[in-house]
Amino acid sequence: MFKAVVIEKNDQGYRSSLQELDDSQLPEGDVTVKVSHSTLNYKDGLAITGKGPVVRKFPMVPGIDLVGEVEESSHPDYKVGDLVLLNGWGVGEGHWGGLAQKARVKGDWLVPLPSKFTPAQAMSIGTAGYTAMLCVLALERQGVKPEDGEILVTGAAGGVGSVAISLLSHLGYQVVAATGRPDDADYLKSLGAVDIIERSQLSEPGKPLAKERWAGAVDVVGSHTLANVCASTRYRGVVTACGLAGGMDFPSTVAPFILRGVTLVGIDSVMCPREERLEAWQRLAKDLDITKLEAISQEVALSEAIPMAEKLLKGEVRGRLVVDVNA
């Protein structure tokens, strides 16, 4: 038997609860992982509360991240005792995820846990930090250099934003953080932000083109914020888009792209090819200051995951939420 958060939908409605399950109930897969830690991401919050159409079949164990030890394996790359982690691939949506003490998954979805990180540290990074690294890699591939100018990070106090600021500042970029929580200014500066702007400067409808400022950007908000970021990006600047906390719409014009040559790069962390995942985790091991992880994250027990999901969606959580599934 093992404990898990389970989401159910039936004639009585939609509900999430902590349950005890039997190993025989685990889904198909060629690797069984004894999970040590998972996380709570925005998508998990939507799944647990039912406030977004995330879950595709029921019952579902949420949790788009997990880390742990291989318990059983018929996959050629993994043996019993290996430490592995998983981000995305639809777990927690269409396949049982990481908010449980056990998970059975496809071995092709796993990557080895980098030796630099403990399991808890890996989940302090999680999908959010891995996505932030994908954004940084995209900026680098598009030729954005530290000397080119300021890099904007929106949703800065969240998981993606926190890790992105830490990474970019470590690499020598001048990072400006946009946040709706002015009380987090000291926290953001401790991660490496050189300036803080109020998110309201970006969240209202704006002009097709604004004054040029950003050499690059990491946006997790979407909607008017992303449109305004593009409108104020400098000639040949690069904007990476990886989230929709402000909405799925993109009320922009072609002006930034055809008049300033701005590049908008979409970042998908869910189905990202394994080679790019491995590169991202290798770079995280190299370029992320692990001393910052304690400030970025807080740890909660599996029994706290459901109430914390509500707080996460209300914007009451700073940084990363790591779930100790055995606490």
309 found inside a domain? yes
The answer as to whether 285 is a domain residue is no
**Average pLDDT of the residues of the chain:** 96
Q: Per-residue pLDDT for 73 more than 90?
A: yes
Cα→Cα distances 161→2, 48, 185, Å: 34, 22, 13
Q: Are residues 64 and 130 in the same domain?
A: no
Report whether 35 contacts 321 (CB < 8 A). no
Q: Does 214 fall in a domain?
A: yes
Q: Do 211 and 131 fall within a single domain?
A: yes
Are 100 and 135 in a shared domain? Answer: no
**Whether 253 and 156 share a structural domain:** yes
User: Are residues 99 and 137 both part of a single domain?
Assistant: no
In terms of domains, do 132 and 262 share one? yes
222-238: average pLDDT: 98
261 pLDDT exceeds 90?
A: yes
Burial class for 1, CB neighbours closer than 10 Å (0-12, 13-18, 19+): exposed
Same domain, 168 and 241: yes
Residue type, 255: A
Q: Are residues 250 and 156 in the same domain?
A: yes
> What domain range is 302 assigned to?
2-113+294-324
Token pair recorded at residue 108: 């092709």
The CATH number for 235's domain is 3.40.50.720
What CATH number is associated with residue 87? Answer: 3.90.180.10
pLDDT at 299: 95
Split at pLDDT 50, 70, 90, the class of 284 is: very high
- Residue 181 has a pLDDT of 87
Residues 141 and 247 in one domain: yes
Note the pLDDT of residue 62.
98
Q: Are residues 185 and 310 in the same domain?
A: no
Give a yes or no: residue 276 inside a domain.
no
What distance in Å separates the CA atoms of residue 160 and residue 265, rounded to the nearest whole number? 16
The kind and range of the H/E element at 225 are helix 223-231
List all residues 6 or more positions away from 94 whose beta carbon is below 8 Å from its beta carbon.
Answer: 56, 57
Whether pLDDT at 317 is above 90: no
Does pLDDT of 295 surpass 90?
no
Same domain, 253 and 311: no
Which of 216, 251, 266 finishes a domain? 266
Q: What is the DSSP letter of 208?
A: S
| 318: confidence class by pLDDT, cuts 50, 70, 90 | confident
Q: How confident is the model at residue 315 (pLDDT cuts 50, 70, 90)?
A: confident
The number of folded domains in the chain is: 2
- If asked whether residues 306 and 212 sit together in one domain, one would say no
Strands 214-219 and 102-105: unpaired
In a domain, 233, yes or no: yes
CA distances from 209 to 94, 164, 254, 324 (A): 41, 26, 10, 46
Q: Over the stretch 110-160, which tens digit does the pLDDT of each residue have?
A: 999 999 999 999 999 999 999 999 999 999 999 999 999 999 999 999 889
| pLDDT confidence of residue 240 | 98
Q: Over pLDDT 70: what percentage of the chain?
A: 100
In a domain, 278, yes or no: no
- The reply to whether 185 falls in a domain is yes
Has this prediction a pTM greater than 0.85? Answer: yes
- Indicate if the pLDDT at residue 82 is higher than 90: yes
Establish if 32 belongs to a structural domain.
yes
